[in-house]
Structure 1
Amino acid sequence: MPKIIENLRERILDAAREALAADGWRSLSMRALAQRVGVAPGTIYNYFSDKEEIVATLALADWQDALARMDAVAAAATDLERGLCDLCDELNAFSDAYRPTWQQYEGGSASSYLTRYHRMLREQVARPVRAVTERAGRADLAPLADVLAEALLACSVNADLGTPAMGKLASALAAGAPHTEGGQES
């Protein structure tokens, strides 16, 4: 009778997260993961087809957590600039956590990874952006949510941009775009 190990899938993911943080993508192997978890290498393949699937599973869970934090930021936002900067901080935290992995990944970089999923990511980021514009009393900027989401994604991928660039953009929007209520400028 095969040995049943409680929560093995979660243990594999935890071990993979630790290995990525400590040693990076290149040193992550199914054999090393099996050794960390205390199972035969073949056992890992009962749960994941390869290390790409393991990392994708981790990244998806972390992305969902980041989206939840962005939704919380949006729900609490009362100021356009602060709200957009806080969204940028959340995106930067996610990107910073995975940047070393993307840089080592033989399939490309953070930008090539994001390019494959770009439209989906932009749509997901645009949702809390719309909420920030509305909560900050700037529903007139909601039509720009996709553009602002694009800027947020660019800031998160390009470390030289980041939150200060988003702050400048939000400040310029707040200062330059007319605030309208009911179609009337105020």
Structure 2
Amino acid sequence: MAQRSQRYLGVPSVPMTFSGRFLPATMLILLGLGIFLYQNATKTTQSAKELISKEGTLINYSFKKDAEGKLTYGIWLREFSERLVLPNYTMATFDTAAFKTTVPPGSRVAVEYNDKENTMATKGERKLYALSVPALQKTYFRGEETIEKDEKKWLDWLKYGLIVVGALLFIYKLVEYRRQEKAYAQEEM
């Protein structure tokens, strides 16, 4: 049997093991799957069907900045023992002055929240997904909007992109490996 020549274009001078050829593709696919699992494990609310609607009496509200300068907007209802916190995306556009004048304490407000969220982990705070005042027919934000804004679309694109690029790289390396085997087989003849 003749000795194989190591002087082929694109072929490394030291032959790579079979598992080493597919390592980058495997890592990309595993990273994409890891992001997929992380995202599904940490996401609390995935659809508006998981939200519970409840109407309650407004006791108090707080529209302040904390010690770090971060906005912390929340309301308290008589029917809830915990503070209901507005979502981050609504704080910048929420008109606190209009809310204070149109919705005084004692008014009935409708809220949507996720009952599965652990309030012990959030220090007695529950995230609001929807806020409205039925008597005034005023909706400040809806549950579908909040869930949509909470989703990280770039993370979805990243995980699917990593899986697709990993699969394409795997196919490319497999075709390249077969071509090299065919070239070696023809050389030995």
Report the TM-score, using the length of structure 1 for normalisation. Answer: 0.22
Q: Highest Rg: 1 or 2? A: 2
Structure holding more strand per residue? 2
Higher relative contact order (CA 8 A, sep 6+): 2
Relative to its length, the structure with more helix (as a share) is 1
